[in-house]
Chains A and B, each alone.
Chain A
C-alpha cells in the first residue's frame, strides 16, 4: 500500500524527487505570473490557513446573506416571519419557543426584527467605506504621485475635515437634515470618514512613486494613468484594504450609535440602533430587548475588526 502510493505521488516528476520538482514549478509560476503581484498570492495562501480569517469571513458571509435574503433565516421559524406583523397583546413578551427572542413594545416578533435589522447595518457599513475608499484612492494617489501644489491643497482640505470628530460632525449634519434615509446617513458618514484612508493612500503612493519598477514602466513609455493604476495602485493599496475592512465594522457601530441617539435612520426603518433606542428605558423590565440587537451588532463589528487584523498580518511583509 505504502509503496504504491509512493510511486503515484508525483507523476509529473521524471527523475527528480517530488520536493525539488515542486520548488521548480513554484519558482516558474512566480516568474511568469509575477505581474499580478506576489503579495496578494502570498497573502491568500496565508489567509486560507488562518482560523481567524476563515471564522470572520464566514461570519461576514452569514450576515451578508441575512441582509440580502432575510427569509433564509426564517424558513422553519415558528413565530411570525413578517417584521411588520405585530400584535399589542404580545407587547414585551419574553423569549420562548414560539418567539425565540420574545416580542418588542409593539408586540412584533423580535427574532424577525433583528434578522431584518441586518440590512441597514451591512448596506451603510459597506457602502460608506466603498465610497469613502474610492474618494481616498483617487485623490490620495493623485496627491501622492504629483506632489507639489495639488498635494498641498488636498492635504490642507484633509486637515480641516480632520478637525471635526466623526460622531460630532455627523450629529450636526444629520440633525440639520429633516428626512434621514439610508442614502442621507451613508453620505454623511462618507463625508467624515475618507480622511484617514486618503492619508494612508497618499503616503503609500509616495513610498512607491520612486520605486525601480515604476521608473522601468516610465522608461518603457507607460503614461501616467497606466503607471498609477497598473503599477503603483496594486502595491500601494494593501494598507488601505486593511484599514477599510476595520472601518466597515466601526462604521456599522457608528451608524447604530447615531440611530440610538436619534439622528440616524428614522422609524419605521428597522435597524439595531433604533431597536436599542426604543428599549433602553426598559432595561429593568425587558433586558432581552437590548441584549439581542446588541449581540448581533457586536458580532458583526467584531467580525470585520478580526478580519482586518488577519489581513494586516497577511499583507504586511514586515511581520513575516
Chain B
C-alpha cells in the first residue's frame, strides 16, 4: 500500500508541473505583450504596467519566469514566493488573489460538498433501482431521464429551474445567500444534476454486470435475502468505478460552479472567475484557475489512493 501511494505521488509531480506550466505558457507565451493581454481593452497606468512586468519577471527567460511564479526559484529580495507558497499574485487594485480565495472558497466548498452528497445518494439509489431489474419501467425511466438531463446544457437547465421552481412555484430562493442553507438547495441540486446522471448510469451498468457473477450466485445459494445480496455483495463491488467517477468529477464540478454561481449569484470562487473575466482581471483569472486545477489534481490523486484501498486487486503489479 505504502509503495502504491508513493508511486502515485511521484507520478503526480510531472503532471502537476506540466499542467501549471501549460496554463502559464498559454497566458504568457501568446504573441504580443502579455501584460497588455491581461488587461485587454482596459486602460492602465504605466506604473501598474511596470510593477506587473517586475512581478512576473518578464525580462527573464520563460522557464525562469515560470519557476519564480510557482515559487520553485527564488525571486530577488522576496525570496521564494509563488503558487507553492500560497502567493497567487494580485489584482489591479493591489489586492492579493489569495485573500480573495480565503473569502470565496467556503461558499464554493459548501456548494460542491452539497452537490457531491446529492449526486452520490440520489445517483446510487436511482442506479441500483434501475440495475437490479433490467428493462423494467424504473430502468427505462432512469435511462430516458438521464439522457435528457445530460443533453441539456447546465446553464439552460439552471435557467429553466430558476424559472419554474424559483419564480412560478416559488419553492426556492433563486439568488444570493440571504436565506442561509436553503439558498444552496437549488444551485447544489442543479450543479449535481449532470454528474448524478453519470453516477446513476455507471451504477446501473456496474450492477447489471455484477449481478450475473459467480459470487452473487453463491450468496443466493447460501440462502441470503435479496436485500443482503444486493447491499453487501453486489453494491460493494459495483461502487468501485462509481467512487472513482465521483472523485474525477471534481474538476467538472469546479467548472460547473463557475456557471452555477454566476446564475445564482453566489459569492464563491466560480463567481470570482466570471467577474475576473468580465472585468478583465487577467491575473485573478489565471491565479484562480491555477488553484482550481491544483484542487482537481489533488482530488484525482486521493481517488487513485482510495481506489487502491477499496479494491485490493489494484495494488499489486
Contact = CB atoms under 8 A, between A and B. Distances in A.
Interface of A: 156, 159-169, 171-173, 175-178, 249, 253, 256-257, 260-263, 276, 280, 283-284, 287, 290, 294, 297-298, 301-302, 305-306, 309
Name the residue in A162, A166, A284, A306 with the highest tally of chain B Cβ atoms < 10 Å from its Cβ.
A162
A256 B273 contact: no
Interface string B285-303: 1100100110011001000
Given A164-B23, A168-B293, A287-B163, A257 B154 contact: yes
Contacts, number: 135
Nearest to B34: A176
B259 interface: yes
Contacts of B254: 165, 168
A165 B252 contact: yes
Given A171-B273, A176-B37, A305-B151, A261 B159 contact: no
Nearest to A246: B150
Nearest to A162: B15
Contacts of A298: 151-153, 156
B16 A256 contact: no
Given A163-B293, A164-B22, A276-B156, A172 B255 contact: no
A290 B167 CA distance: 14
Nearest to B23: A172
A165 B251 contact: yes
Contacts of B251: 165, 168
Nearest to B263: A280
Contacts of A156: 14, 18
Nearest to A260: B155
B26 interface: yes
B147 A309 contact: yes
Nearest to B290: A172
A301 B286 contact: no
Interface string B262-302: 11000000000110011000100110010011001100100
Please list the 8 inter-chain residue pairs (A to B) with the smallest Cβ-Cβ separation, ordered nearest first. Answer: A160-B18, A167-B255, A163-B19, A302-B151, A165-B251, A294-B156, A253-B153, A298-B152
13 contacts: A159-B11, A163-B15, A167-B256, A168-B289, A171-B258, A172-B26, A172-B285, A175-B277, A176-B34, A261-B259, A297-B153, A298-B156, A306-B147
Given A173-B27, A298-B152, 11 more contacts: A159-B11, A161-B19, A163-B293, A165-B255, A165-B292, A165-B293, A176-B282, A178-B41, A263-B277, A287-B163, A305-B147
A294 B159 contact: yes
B163 A283 contact: yes
B255 A168 contact: yes
A185 B200 CA distance: 32
B26 A173 contact: yes
B150 A305 contact: yes
Contact of A172 (B27, B162, B263): B27
Contacts of B148: 302
B22 A176 contact: no
B30 interface: yes
B86 interface: no
Name the residue in B22, B153, B160, B278 with the highest tally of chain A Cβ atoms < 10 Å from its Cβ.
B153
A312 B224 CA distance: 36
Contacts of A256: 153, 155
Interface of B: 11, 14-16, 18-19, 22-23, 26-27, 30, 32, 34, 37-38, 40-41, 147-148, 150-156, 159-160, 162-163, 167, 251-252, 254-256, 258-259, 262-263, 273-274, 277-278, 282, 285-286, 289, 292-293, 296-297, 300
Contact of A169 (B23, B30, B167): B23
Contacts of A301: 151-153
Nearest to B37: A176
B151 A276 contact: no
A283 B159 contact: yes
Name the residue in A172, A178, A276 with the highest tally of chain B Cβ atoms < 10 Å from its Cβ.
A172
B91 to A, nearest CB: 14
Name the residue in B14, B26, B34, B300 with the highest tally of chain A Cβ atoms < 10 Å from its Cβ.
B26
A229 B18 CA distance: 32
B16 A163 contact: yes
Nearest to B32: A178
B48 to A, nearest CB: 18
Contact of A178 (B37, B259, B273, B285): B37
Nearest to B156: A294
A284 B282 contact: no
Contacts of A172: 23, 26-27, 285-286, 289
B71 to A, nearest CB: 19
Contact of B293 (A164, A175, A263, A302): A164
Name the residue in A249, A253, A276, A306 with the highest tally of chain B Cβ atoms < 10 Å from its Cβ.
A253
B160 A294 contact: yes
Contacts of A262: 274, 277-278
Contacts of B293: 163-165, 168
B266 to A, nearest CB: 15
A42 to B, nearest CB: 23
A173 B289 CA distance: 11
A147 to B, nearest CB: 17
Contacts of A161: 19, 22
Nearest to A165: B251
A308 to B, nearest CB: 10
B23 to A, nearest CB: 6
Given A175-B285, A256-B153, A160 B160 contact: no
Contacts of A284: 167
A273 B285 CA distance: 21
